A and B are shown apart, each in its own frame.
Chain A
Amino acid sequence: MGISRRKVSAVGVLAATAALLLSACAGSASNSSSTPAASGGSGTAASCGSTPITIAKNAWTGYYANVAVVDYILRTKLGCTTKISEINEQVAWQGFPTGQVDVILENWGHDDLVKKYITDQKVAVDLGPTGNQGIIGWYVPQWMADKYPDITDYKNLNKYADLFKTSESGDKGQLLDGDPSYVTNDVALVKNLNLNYKVVTGGSEAALITAMQKATDNKTPLLFYFYEPQYALATIKVARVKLPEYTAGCDADPAKVACDYPPYTLNKIARAAWVDAGGPAVSFIKKFNWTNDDQNSVAADIAAGKSYDDAAKAWIDKNQAKVDAWLQG
């Protein structure tokens, strides 16, 4: 909401009046409901600067966990004001050149965006890994791995194709795919590994999670594409299916891929000008680094209905040493 005050252009009665109202009472509009406790630490804003730090918030639970902890520490330990901007993963990058986004807290690769905004335009910088490892792969519910121990190797999948038949996949086995935000080579993989399967598009994370929950609860067969870290894996037990090992460059030609997905090192991306201005917040976010288990525990609390601050506090109380290390000068 700081944008409108950045530049007040006289373009009509509406804008002018509204802007007058705003400047008359600047500040009261910025406590919108998206930051329920944003006003908490505004008293000691000196060390952090008075401009709110805008954190992009992308829509998956692991990311929510990062936001909860980072936002809580910024406000309560560093006296910063923050603004959470709920936004689509890739659209968030558009906020770097315009100054509308200061930091993205969990970035999954995105080589194209890295090239555009970091290498070419130099408006964003990489603030280093979050410590979380991103894994993409094929999974079956744990009960299937228990009942058919050799199912977790792709070489044996054809033997079990009948189990996975649905009305969507016809006479082939169904491989449930899914979240459009992530890379998938599954159609090529099925073809190049000569698997008697059809890729069926689930279409969203919600579709995948409900399907795996159902398959686990009712013990129905399911082969699906998924990824870690994901809080749902804390309650739904799954087993990963082994694909031919990933080697550098084996996925270079999307049509000829016949190997597993590469591991992702998740990282933080920040606006270059914001990083250059320095300050304790920048140094803290640079050092912010935790494990998949850390993230899953906070994410599970949020998913269970805890407020972000409560979930963050619960984890921080148990992991004071880690937090201290992030905050050391």
Chain B
Amino acid sequence: MSVGIVPPLAGSVATSADLPPSDGGTRRRPSVKWQLLGLAVVWIVLYKLLDGKWPLESGVPENAQAWLQDFSSTIGDGRLTNPLFIYVLNPITDALQAAYDGGVWITQQLGWTGMTGLATAVALVLAGWRMALLTFLGFLSFGIVGLWDASMETLVLVAISVLLAVIIGIPLGVWAGLSPRFERFLIPVLDTLQIMPSLAYLPFITLFFLIGPPSGIVATLIYAVPPVIRLTSVGIREVAPESVEASRSLGATARQVLFGVQLPMSRRTRVVGINQTVMAALSMVTIAALVAAPGLGQSVVNALVVLNVGAAFNAGIALVIMAIVLDRVITAASRRVGSAPPPRRSRLISWGVAAALVVVGAVLPAVIPALAKWNAAYVYAFTDWVNSLSDWAKHNLYPITTAFTEWFTTWFINPLDSLFAGTPWFITIAMWTALGFILGRFRPAFTALFCLLGVVLLALWPSSMTTLTQVIIAAAITMVLGLVFGVWIGRSRWADRILRPILDAGQVMPPFVYLIPCLFLFGPTRFTAIVAAVIYAAPAAIKIVGEGIDRVPSDSVEAARSVGSTTVQEIVKVQLPMARPIILVALNQGIIFVMSMVVIGGLVGGGGLGYDVITGFAQERFAGLGLAAGVAIVLLGVMLDRISQSAGRVRRTSSDLA
């Protein structure tokens, strides 16, 4: 079933006909396959007949823009008079600013020795010796790359955002896990928070929370809170109903069931959620830098302005290391909480060592003043090394990469783009509605109709079709990579060990860092936008698929092996079908992550809605356009997600029946 998920995503154009015959699910439902083929034929014929007829122009209705403009002036004027500001927003702003200043102040008082000691001690007590060593080396590396202060600023910003995300997210996630009705309400909200590009609403956040760390924290929080909510709720629902029933039958109250059974048994999933939240928060630092929030994001932005790939990479490395340390320590700590506590003696030793680390670290600068600041002589920045590598690549690889870009654009991007944008808009909408109907009956059909009509009403049709083309291609590549590498890391421990840091890097390395090399290699083109989206989205898809494969009970695999299945059969017939619910999560996250890169794509030649959002952010008089384009991105994302999810579910029922 490896490619079974892809066709609905790749549109109905040609891929559905290329399905390998080994695809068990589709063989049982030939009608869907033939319907898709028929749809593709009808669509292409209509395109050939009506190409370019009844075009829709872009542009936001004047009144919407004027209204947004007035709204932003009203907010600006009300800051000192409006009760909402005086009693709610201004105190929040002050509290966030104070929390940030306080955090930075602590890191400065402790100095690099104290902070390294403290972090190592925390890791030691919570997660053991190996994690303590990792943390120690990680913190030292912030000094080594010459970015100690910026790293601490980012750490404080991310810590506050994640703390708030957990405080807000876990209760909401528990509620959603217990109440399907609340979950139905919450899911579209979370989708919107994750897909809506932050640049579209950033100018409005600064109106509420002023320029600086508070706005940076709020923007980070908005983007980072959905994963912890989603996975907390998934975790609660995953708890085996038998366990819940059992404790209920013993007379436990709902409260006792929640705290005694559901919460403890869903810890692993919840921690995955917190980790994803940390990653999301770290991925926001460059955006936060645009509203004067300090930290590594500013190092990246400053380097980008002078096209210094090396310096940007350097800051990116610090971010990646921070992400790896946080991820591993949190994961290890959560595993420990569940297992039996270590013997008292070893606990005492680690507490003692931890205390010693903190004290020594904090006192050291007082004894040896030279240690108060990181010595510049011990800085080894990657700058020059990366710059010469990127220079080499741009002079030697470009003929190949340029040719490949041309080829890919001519054969994949342009045809799909013509089909979506060239066919009259109402036919394109009808085709998408039909596609939704074939794959999932009324619900996705209605969603597609509603979302695309919304795009028409926003007067953003041409931009939206440009974006839709790129998103579909990027999501398809993401899922292919997700399935191939996901199966690999799910089946092989060493593949997991080797690939995981690379995947973390792909998720956390700010896209700004690799945009310049991508531009040198592929030029400002739509293909570059697709590459950037895949670099960011594929790691998440790979990790989630890997997790799903890993969780397939080993006795099922054993059973298949004992009846003489080949490795391919084992993967295609057993592991992938059994991991399908989690693969659907990977598909959902893959699409969402691709959508969240639309704006970055706009920076490197993607055009479309991404460029509209950037324009809205860059020029205040286009703020209305930016916000409208943000909404259009959400509409497209929701449509793609619902259609592909229902496609996955249809196929599941068909194979379950068999």
**A residues touching B (Cβ–Cβ < 8 Å)?**
1, 3-4, 7-9, 11-12, 14-15, 17-19, 21-22, 25, 28-29, 32-34, 59-61, 64, 85-95, 97-98, 100-101, 112-113, 116, 166-168, 170, 176, 178-181, 200-211, 214, 217-218, 302-303, 305
Contact = CB atoms under 8 A, between A and B. Distances in A.
A90 B605 CA distance: 23
Given A206-B515, A217-B395, A22 B102 contact: yes
Contacts of B207: 94
B211 A32 contact: no
> Which of A32, A86, A201: most chain B Cβ within 10 A?
A201
Given A90-B619, A98-B210, A18 B98 contact: yes
Interface stretch (B24-32, B270-278, B339-347, B405-413): B405-413
B647 to A, nearest CB: 31
Contacts of B606: 201, 203
A202 B604 CA distance: 6
B211 A168 contact: no
Contact of B603 (A61, A167, A206): A206
B618 A207 contact: no
Interface string B512-533: 0001100110011110000000
Interface of B: 73, 76, 79, 90-92, 94-95, 97-99, 101-106, 108-109, 149-150, 153, 202-203, 206-207, 210-212, 289-292, 294, 298, 301-302, 304-308, 311, 383, 394-395, 398, 405-406, 409-410, 414, 515-516, 519-520, 523-526, 602-607, 610-611, 614-615, 617-621
A93 B76 CA distance: 11
A32 B298 CA distance: 12
B66 to A, nearest CB: 12
Contacts of B611: 180, 201, 203
B516 A206 contact: yes
B94 to A, nearest CB: 5
Contact of B524 (A4, A116, A170, A200): A200
Contact of A86 (B79, B108, B292, B414): B292
Contacts of A302: 306
Given A4-B94, A14-B99, A207-B603, A87 B291 contact: yes
A87 B293 CA distance: 9
B101 A29 contact: yes
A86 B76 CA distance: 21
A204 B98 contact: no
Contacts of B103: 18
A86 B516 contact: no
Given A22-B105, A204-B604, 10 more contacts: A4-B101, A18-B99, A18-B103, A22-B102, A28-B105, A64-B306, A87-B292, A91-B202, A214-B394, A303-B307
Contacts of B619: 90, 180-181
A91 B72 CA distance: 12
Contacts of B97: 1, 3-4
A179 B73 CA distance: 26
B617 A88 contact: yes
A205 B191 CA distance: 31
A207 B519 contact: yes
Contacts of A9: 90-91, 94-95
A64 B618 CA distance: 18
Given A19-B102, A21-B105, A90 B618 contact: yes
Given A59-B305, A168-B409, A203 B105 contact: no
A305 B398 CA distance: 26
Nearest to B526: A168
B101 A91 contact: no
A206 B523 CA distance: 11
Given A15-B95, A112-B621, A302-B306, A3 B301 contact: no
B618 A11 contact: no
Contacts of A94: 76, 206-207, 210-211
B101 A206 contact: no
Given A4-B94, A167-B409, A18 B101 contact: yes
